[in-house]
Every structure is written in structure tokens, then in C-alpha cells.
Amino acid sequence: MKRLNILLLLLTFCIDVFAEATFSVVPPRNVVEGKNFTVTYRLKDGQGSGLIVPDIEGCKKLYGPAQSTMQSYEFINGRQSSSVTVDYTYTYRAEKNGTYTIPSATITVDGRQLHSKSVTFKVLPSDNYGSGTGSSGNSGDVDVDDISTQSPDKQVSDKDVFIRVILNKSQAFKEEAIECTMKLYTRYQSIEGITSATPPSFDGFLIDEMNDVASLNEMEHYNGKNYLTAVLKKYIIFPQQTGKLTINSGQYDISVIQYERVNMGFFTTQRPVQKTVHVKPGNLSINILPLPQPQPDKFSGAVGDFTISSDLSSSSLRTNEAASLSLKISGTGNIKYIKEPEIEFPEEFEQYTPKAEINAAIAGNTVKGTNSIEYTFVPQSVGQFTIPAYEFVYFNPQTKSYETIATQSYKLNVAKGANAPTAATDQQNIQVKNTDILHIKLGNKALSKDNKPLVYSIGYWSAYGFIIIALIIILFAYSKHIKFTSDTIGVKKAYANKVAKKRLNAAEKLMKQHNIDGFYEEILKALWGYLSDKLSMPASLLTRQNIAQELAKNNISEDVTNQLITIIDDCEMARYTPGLTDESVEHTFEQASDIISKIENSK
């Protein structure tokens, strides 16, 4: 029996160790015409041979493959597992700007061929410096890829760092959803922080704001130059007036990191120097059109694209018996600001104040959600009654016309219910509709003869003592709370795990909804946000090298650090890889949760 247990343990070990091999491609990011970039083909849990990599049209292969291997081991809940990752890295030069495809590559593992997915990437045009201006050095422009050009002796100009206010349309109808994006553009690689000296104002608009983590992770070609970009804020705004409306973009203080060349004797190094610049994006105007006239009589003020449904709790009722009619409006647009529909109930029905619940959020360049209204009513008469269909009229900006949708009508049969209690009836257990009107309590009607003042009682002075003790406890707790919250770095570190778990919960919901892109985006936000809070570093300074150095200072093992960086690479690669299976998504979620737990439990 003991030998059998050992054999089973060895079999379980072998199954955990030898996982199925996978082969994928890690596409490049922020590729610029005329510059080198790398493409990495990644083989996990397998020994490969015969790698075949097709040429990339429009790009010249310089050298490769450069091969690197990483191996990791895990022992969780009594189960041993290992993972071996082999990266094959090729270096190319982008010959011309445009959009290109990395063809599927092939590798042989254990006699069978594995194929990577084909993915596309974009090559941006090279910088246009104009005549008489160099591309590097102190006398030339700032080069986004060369920190030696980002020296403190240069004045940070409004062409090096600026903020754009971007609207997704040049004109719109009143109440139509408009996407407004505050986007940072910088030629400097590092931004320490951004504060709003004067917040933006949207006079004449209702706004919905999306909170997001800004990070310099994308490059964009704008006005002949390449910039690192970050979306600072995204708003969905709904104009409430017609004519020319102006958006005041506010003012911002941006801390830019420049690099000073320092001679250390035998070698030189670059020392970061922080400089604060004041940025005012400038105001932006948009033309708002009035809704077409004449407006339909039953127009609800809704602008967008909607559907409607209804549900009746019961069609067979009795007098004095409560029932409900539920109305649900779904769609995109100004759903949060729709007027409450008025249902035409029969006069014989007593009506209560409707209960409304709105569940809506920003989705793309609009707001999407539902507006649910519950109408409670009580029939007061016997007979057959009809609740007519409700017609919901809204304006559709896409068709530029009013559209009408309707619920069904309902027929109700009302029978005689229980008789209401009379005045002569003694107090009974009856159902009341207004719980704030209760029975008069009957009891001993005799007047009290105890005239002893309350101040002479023990309970009176005991209450004073209790209040004093409670105040002392409250003041002590409040002082500790003030001391804790004043340490902003400590607070961020303390709540880093809690914030990450919230994002992981959001990622799990997206995973169950099979929203693969949203899942990987939320996982990356959880990991980057956790590292930013835990290491007390701005998101813009988080690089794989900085992460490894800071985690090492916090006594985090190299294996854990390598696992974390691998998960980040896998998530970034997955955003460009279609057709991922549910198993791979669940595996990524488990890895992300596990790696955060390992860092939290490391001392």
C-alpha cells in the first residue's frame, strides 16, 4: 500500500510538471520608421526544433534568433509544477510607415508542429524635424528615444509636453452623447506627476467621468513628430443648450524628468532632474444643434438608441391587494437623465410613488445601461380593467429622426377582497400600506405620582461618565486615523493589496462574460496599479528593470519577480492574440492572483 501511494505521488508529479506546450508571438510596440525593433517567439513547456519564421513585409531582418531560457518552479497546496519558457528574439528595421502583419511561425515539438498566431502592428512615420535642426544633442530637438537629448539645460517647450482636448465629433444634437478626452503628449520618457491647478469646466453640459490609470504606454505620430501619450481623463458629456458651447480645459502642473550627464571619474551616468511646467491646453468649442421640430407629444427627452420592456406581477387581483408593473428601458445615450415615464392607470387604482433604479456606465464613446421603474398600485373596485400600452418616444441621432417603441397593454380581473376593518373592531393584525401610521397603544391610564427629579438618579450620572469615556476613545481613535492618513505612501502600501483585489474581482466578472480584451486590460491595471502603490513609484516610471530592482530591495525572490514579469508579458501579448481559450484566460487569472499573494506574504 505504501508503494502504491508513492507511485501515485510520482504520477501526480509528472502530470503537473509536463504541461502542454504552447507557441506564441510577442509583437513589438511603438515602432518608428527607420528604427530597429524586436519580435519574440515564445515556446512554453516544450523542447523545440526546426523553427521557421517567415519574413515581415516592409521590414528588414537584421539578426536573430537570440535565444533565452527561463525556468520556474511552484509548490502550491502539495502540488509541484514547473514551467520552462524559451524566447527566440529577432531584430528588424522598419523600412516604411504603415500597418504590417507578422505571419504565423512554425516550430516542431515532440514530432508535431506548433503555429503562432499572425498579428498586426503599426509602424509610425519618423520625426520631421524640419530644416536646420538636428535630431539629437543639446542643440537639436528632444528625441523621445534618446535621454541624452533630454538634458536640464533645455527649456521644456509647449511642443515637447502638452495636453490636447479631443472630441469625437465636431457637432452634435442637444442631449446627444459626446466623448471628450484629455490626452497628454510628451517627448520626454518620464513624467513624475500631473496635478490639476484649475480643473476643466463643462458649462452647459451634464457629464459622466471615467476614472482610469494614466500611463505612458502608447506612441502616436502628431504634427510630424512621435510622442508618448497617456489618456488623463475621459468624459461623456451631454449638451443641455443649443448653439456654440465652450469647454474650458483648465490648467495643469506637470513634473517632467530630465537627465543630467554626470562624470563619475572612470564613467559617466545620467542623473534625473525634476522640472515642473505649467500647461494650459486651451478652450475648445462645439456646435450644438437643436432637436428637430415639431417634437412628438410623447417625447420623453431621451436621445440615443433604446429598447423597452414591461412585466406585470399578476393579472388576477382582489381589491385592496397590491400589485406592481415593472418597466425597463435599455440602451445607449442619456439614459441616466430620462424623465420618469407616466403610466395611465385606471382611476379606480390607488397609485404609489414609483421606484426607479438606474444602472449605467461609460461604454466606448457613450453611456450604456438600464433604467428600471417599478409602479405599485392597489385596485379599489371590482371589475375588468385595462392598463394601456406605454409609448416611449426618443430621438435617434444616427437616423436624425424620432422613433417610437411601445410596451404591451394588460387586462386585469379584480375580484372582491377582504373587508376593511371598521372603527368598532378591536386592534387586529391587519396589513397597512403606510407603516408610519400605527395603532394607538392602550395601557394604564393612571397618572404617575413619582415626582423624584432625574438628576438624583444613579443612571443620570452614569450616562455622563459613559459619554466622557466615549469622547476620550473617539479622540484617541481619530488622532491615530489622522496620523495614518497623513502618511500617503504608507496608506498606498497598506491598501495596495485591497485595491488589486477589487480589480481582480472586476477581471473575474469580465472573464465569466467572455470579454477577453476587457479581462486582460483589467489584469494589467491590477498588476501595474499594485506595483505602483506597493513600490511607491509613479506608473510612468514602472519598467521591468525598475520593478526587479525594487522588489529585490523588498526581499522578494528572483523567481517571484520573473514570474510577475512573465505574467505581464503574457497579458500584453494576449491583447494582440485573438482566439484565446477559456482555459488560458482562467490560468492567467490564477497566476495574477497567486503572484500578488506571494509578494504580500514575502517578508
The answer to whether 37 touches 94, Cβ cutoff 8 Å, is yes
Tell me whether residue 518 is exposed, middle or buried, using C-beta atoms within 10 angstroms of its C-beta: 0 to 12, 13 to 18, 19 or more. Answer: middle
SS3 of 198-264: the string is: ECCECCCEEEEEECCCCCCCEEEEECCEEEEEEEEEEEEEEECCCEEEEEECCEEEEEEEEEEEEEC
Pairing state of beta strands 178-186 and 225-239?
antiparallel
pTM assigned to the model = 0.60
User: Nine-digit cell at 38?
Assistant: 524586436
Pairing state of beta strands 59-76 and 191-198?
unpaired
Pairing state of beta strands 79-94 and 59-76?
antiparallel
Residue among 555, 562, 560, 565 nearest 598 (CA): 560
Q: Which residues pair with 237 in a beta bridge?
A: 178, 207
Domains of the chain: 2-124 (2.60.40.10), 147-289 (2.60.40.10), 299-415 (2.60.40.740), 488-601 (1.20.120)
Would you tell me how many other CB atoms lie within 10 Å of the CB of residue 431? 8
In residues, how long is the chain?
Answer: 603
pLDDT digits (tens, 9 = 90+) for 182-236: 999 999 988 888 888 888 889 999 999 887 656 777 889 999 899 999 998 899 9
Residue among 160, 142, 161, 163 nearest 151 (CA): 142
Q: What pLDDT was estimated at residue 457?
A: 72
Which residues have CB under 8 Å from 589's CB, separation 6+?
504, 507, 508, 511, 519, 523
CA gap 119, 575 in Å, rounded: 10
pLDDT digits (tens, 9 = 90+) for 449-494: 555 666 667 777 778 788 888 888 888 887 776 765 555 555 555 6
Helix (H, G, I), strand (E, B) or coil at 396: strand
CA gap 567, 20 in Å, rounded: 18
SS3 of 17-72: the string is: HCCCCEEEEECCCCEECCCEEEEEEEEECCCEEEEECCCCCCEEEEEEEEEEEEEE
CA gap 215, 525 in Å, rounded: 10
CA gap 260, 273 in Å, rounded: 7
Radius of gyration of the chain (CA): 33
H or E segment and range at residue 520: helix 516-534
Task: List phi, psi (to 5°) of 147.
Answer: -70, -15
Tell me whether residue 16 is exposed, middle or buried, using C-beta atoms within 10 angstroms of its C-beta: 0 to 12, 13 to 18, 19 or more. Answer: middle
Task: List phi, psi (to 5°) of 585.
Answer: -65, -45
Angle in degrees, CA 212, 215, 220, rounded to 5: 110
Mean pLDDT in order along the chain per 10 residues (603 residues): 48 51 91 92 90 92 90 72 88 92 93 92 83 46 84 89 93 95 91 87 90 76 91 92 92 91 77 90 92 91 95 91 93 92 91 92 91 93 93 95 94 81 37 48 56 68 82 82 59 67 82 80 81 74 76 80 82 69 79 82 67
- Edge-to-edge strand order for the sheet containing 410-415? 316-318, 410-415, 383-387
CA gap 102, 577 in Å, rounded: 11
pLDDT digits (tens, 9 = 90+) for 332-380: 999 999 988 999 999 999 999 999 999 999 888 899 999 999 999 999 9
The residue assigned the cell 403606510 is 434
The answer to whether 44 touches 83, Cβ cutoff 8 Å, is yes
CA gap 485, 492 in Å, rounded: 10
Distance (Å) of CA 452 to CA 444, 446, 464, 533: 20, 17, 19, 62
Residue among 219, 394, 367 nearest 301 (CA): 394
DSSP annotation of 539 reads G
H or E segment and range at residue 130: none
Q: Which residues pair with 248 in a beta bridge?
A: 201
Would you tell me how many other CB atoms lie within 10 Å of the CB of residue 293? 5
